[in-house]
Structures are given as structure tokens and as C-alpha cells.
Amino acid sequence: MALIEELDQQGNFLFRWRSYIPGFILLLCIYSLSHYEFLQDSYEINLYYAAACLFISLIGLFVRCFVIGYAPARTSGRNTKEQVADVVNQEGIYSLVRHPLYLGNFLMYLGPVLYFRDLPLTLVFALFFGFYYERIMFTEEKFLREKFGKDYLDWANNIPAFIPKFSGYVKPKLSFSFKNILKREYPSLFGILVIFVLFDYAATFKNSFGDWREPWTVITEPQIWTFGLGAAFYILTRIIVKTTKWLVVEGR
């Protein structure tokens, strides 16, 4: 019993501090920059590899969007600051995996980590992510077990925690809300693009022996376009979110 309470306390603590996870992963990646080299000594080939890593992160974002697009307010998929749930999500992607948001987070973070082609970095990331989120998932599930009892256990016993199954999909009753996705996930998309642009710039600077007195000389056209379009999307969406109610969806 004492062990359960200790794990629960750890989970609550980590839940409150989970927004700092990207910063820790970023520090690990910055260390790998010190010995980073272009794939086959070619910026063009490396750019294709970077695009593949970006695609992995976007798959993670897609998983998150799929969850959020169907999620009603005050459900087990909307606990951003504390454990909150009036019902347990059992439809949509929740009929395939119990923690789809954390699966999406894993893939989002995995993309930048894979960019460095550093096996020790990838292993450290996987172990850190597994330890960190395992405690959070334990706390969330303890809360849901205590609140919903048998109804929760009947669902949880048939649904894997993190690696999804690929059968038994239950179509959500709610309609898909693209507005809800825009309102909640536009910073995530911009953040992904910024990270990849910064990593690509740093790698270009290092491999091109850039001059710190003229750092702009190694900026590439893909970096300009990616950051520019991402920034325009972020600014426009943020203005809409902060100044209008166009993205407000009742019950979401």
C-alpha cells in the first residue's frame, strides 16, 4: 500500500512538471550536435533524412489531433492541469490504446531525437520517456479506477496501455472538430517546425564552418520557408484564438 501511494505521489509530481520534458530532451540533443555530421557529407541527402524524421513527429501530432478532434470536455483525455474525468473515453482511438496522447508525444519527440542518428541518445530518450510517463500513467489509471471502478476495469483489461491494437475500433459518437484541433494544437505544430529548423541550421553551421560574426550566411532556403510558413500560421491562428470565438466549440 505504501508503494502504491509513493508511486501515486511521484506520478502527480511528474504530471505537474511534464511540460519541461521537451527542454530536457533538447539538452540531450544539443550535446549530440557537438559531433553531428551530414549524412554522407551531403546537405541535400541529410535534408531528405530530416524530412523523414519530421514526418515521424507529424505522425505523433496526427495521433494527438485524432484524440482532440473527438474529445468532449471533462473526459480522461482533457486533464491538462489535474486529474479530471466525468466519463472515460472508450471510443475512437481509445478503443485501440489507453494512452494515445502519450503515444503521440513519444512520436513527436522521437523525430528530433532520430535526426541525430545517435543510438545512445535514442536509448536514453526511450528510457527517460518510459520511466517518466509510466509514473504519470499509473497515477491517471489509479484515479480512474477509484472513480469508475468496474466500468473502467472492464475497458482497461481489454485495451493495451501504450502500443495500440489494430482491431476493434469503435467509431466515436461525437463529430470530428477541426476547430478544436486548431485551438489546442497550433503551438505544437509550430514548435515541431522550429525545432527542426534550429537543428538543421545548427548542423549546417557546424558542417559548413560558419562564422559566428556572420551567422546568417549559412541559412538555407528550406529553413526560411519552413520557419516563415510556420510562423505565419502560428501568428494568424493565435490572433484568431485570442480575439475571436470562431474556434470555440460548445462541449469541447
Q: Where are the domains of the chain?
A: 2-176
Q: Which fold is adopted by the domain 2-176? A: Four Helix Bundle (Hemerythrin (Met), subunit A) (1.20.120)
pLDDT value at residue 142: 85
* Most distant CA pair in the chain, distance: 65
State pTM to two decimals. 0.84
What CA–CA distances, in Å, run from 52 to 95, 116, 132?
28, 12, 26
What separation, in Å, do the N-terminal and C-terminal C-alpha atoms of the chain show?
37
pLDDT (tens place) for every residue of the chain, 252 residues total = 443 444 444 445 444 555 566 677 778 788 888 889 999 989 999 999 999 999 999 999 999 999 999 887 666 544 545 555 567 788 899 999 999 999 999 999 999 999 999 999 999 899 888 888 888 888 888 888 888 888 889 899 999 989 999 889 999 888 899 999 999 999 999 999 999 999 999 999 988 877 777 888 889 999 999 999 999 999 999 999 999 999 888 766
Amino acid at position 63, single letter: V
Is the CB of residue 161 less than 8 Å from the CB of residue 101? no
Q: Helix crossing, 100-115 with 21-33: angle to 10°?
A: 20
Q: What is residue 133's predicted lDDT score, i.e. its pLDDT? A: 82
